[in-house]
Structure 1
Amino acid sequence: MHRTQIYFEESLFEALKQEAKAMGISVSAYIREVLRQDLERRKKEPKKRDFSEFRGMWADRDISEQKLREKAWKRFSATPMS
């Protein structure tokens, strides 16, 4: 196990002590458990993707639903049927 030192505001530390006492465990055990649960929850969450590099990519194009439908139908009607 690794030992570390953490500084808490007084009110937060009091809340930690109360929660740990209510659960019948030490403050350290409570902190480890809360962190373990948070890390497990984060593993299950889908990764957030950063699409900011694509911002403005379509700024000069008409991508309205109507325009997209028109383009789709043009391609569909231009395809020869067998």
Structure 2
Amino acid sequence: MEITIGVQNLARELVVESDQTPDQVAEAVAAALGGKPALELVDTRGRHIIVPTASIGYVEIGGETKGRVGFGTI
């Protein structure tokens, strides 16, 4: 699933590919906006992405991705 995070004072947005469900991501975003100091996500390669809550502009949570077809899936 693709997650797009708009960060204040940055021209580009962060795009993260994650194996987390949309509900898990929504809970993490709600917890961050509810008082946690940072939004913490894990991408498909196991890397941790930490964004300070004060700098989050928006979070767009994509739907579940289907299996990809082609040479890029090897």
Q: Comparing both chains, which one has the higher relative contact order based on Cα–Cα distances under 8 Å and sequence gaps of 6 or more?
A: 2
TM bracket (short chain): under 0.3
Answer 1 or 2: which has greater strand percent. 2
TM-score between the two structures when normalised by the length of structure 1: 0.25
Answer with 1 or 2: which has the greater Rg. Answer: 1
TM-score, normalised with respect to structure 2: 0.28
